[in-house]
């Protein structure tokens, strides 16, 4: 059996694919713009259900690579963690935690710890609907009554204006439906959406960033 050759896109090419998709361009047209089959564009868009993921960002409290490099150099000459923290303008507890998390004093390496931070940022985060069975049940009931995610999100905000834990955005509903729902449940709920697509062409901005290095 002939193995299909895997096609790779650069970061800028993937961004262009998402730009074209959000402008309403067909996958066949997107593929042709890169002199490739439409299936190659599909491989970029389909894993997130057609919803553009947020760009990866470094968290505001995250250590920069330069800071991690400084930590590594200072540890190599046995400088105390408190002294390193003062040098970087960081709290001793922050430096201690970062060092312990990434190999401890004897094995800390700047590049490896920075990459590990990005890798942790890509791990799945708990979703609101997944963590709240009662909220998920309410959303599912409305979907079965053919309410759109936009209607459900608005209804929850009006019904529980002072209870954020009982609210969820329409984008979070789409994300849970297209990405997290599986099997019979996903099929059943998709049948109740007005636009029955397995890939959604979002008309709004990307989801709030969750891929932040720490």
Neighbours of 205 (CB within 10 A): 10
State whether the Cα torsion 114-100-70-58 is positive or negative.
Answer: positive
* 3-class secondary structure, 212: strand
At 1, the pLDDT band (50, 70, 90 cuts) reads: very low
Annotate 20-48 with DSSP letters as a single string.
HHHTT--HHHHHHHTTS-HHHHHHHHGGG
pLDDT in tens, 14-70: 889 999 988 989 888 998 988 888 788 888 887 777 777 766 666 667 888 899 999
CA distance 24 to 135: 32
CA distance 67 to 13: 31
Please report the pLDDT score of residue 129 as a whole number.
79
pLDDT in tens, 122-171: 555 667 777 888 998 898 888 888 888 889 999 999 999 999 889 998 87
- Contact predicate 210/125, CB 8 Å: yes
Q: Provide the token pair at 75.
A: 């540890």
CA distance 45 to 206: 13
Q: Provide the token pair at 214.
A: 């720490």
- Contact predicate 17/44, CB 8 Å: yes
* 3-class secondary structure, 57: strand
Please report the pLDDT score of residue 208 as a whole number.
44
Please report the pLDDT score of residue 197 as a whole number.
57
CA distance 27 to 38: 5
Please report the pLDDT score of residue 42 as a whole number.
86
């Amino acid at each position: 059996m002939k193995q299909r050759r895997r096609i790779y896109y650069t970061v800028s090419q993937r961004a262009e694919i998402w730009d074209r998709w959000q402008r309403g361009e067909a996958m066949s047209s997107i593929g042709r713009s890169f002199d490739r089959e439409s299936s190659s564009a599909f491989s970029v868009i389909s894993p997130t259900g057609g919803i553009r993921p947020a760009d990866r960002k470094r968290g505001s409290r995250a250590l920069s690579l330069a800071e991690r490099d400084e930590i590594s150099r200072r540890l190599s000459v046995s400088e105390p963690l408190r002294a390193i923290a003062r040098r970087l303008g960081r709290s001793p507890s922050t430096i201690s935690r970062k060092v312990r998390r990434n190999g401890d004093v004897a094995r800390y390496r700047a590049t490896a710890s920075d990459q590990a931070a990005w890798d942790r940022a890509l791990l799945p985060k708990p979703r609101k609907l997944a963590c709240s069975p009662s909220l998920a049940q309410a959303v599912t009931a409305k979907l079965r009554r053919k309410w759109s995610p936009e209607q459900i999100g608005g209804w929850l905000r009006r019904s529980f204006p002072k209870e954020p834990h009982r609210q969820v955005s329409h984008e979070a509903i789409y994300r849970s439906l297209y990405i997290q729902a599986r099997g019979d449940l996903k099929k059943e709920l998709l049948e109740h959406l007005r636009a029955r697509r397995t890939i959604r062409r979002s008309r709004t901005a990307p989801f709030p960033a969750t891929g932040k290095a720490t």
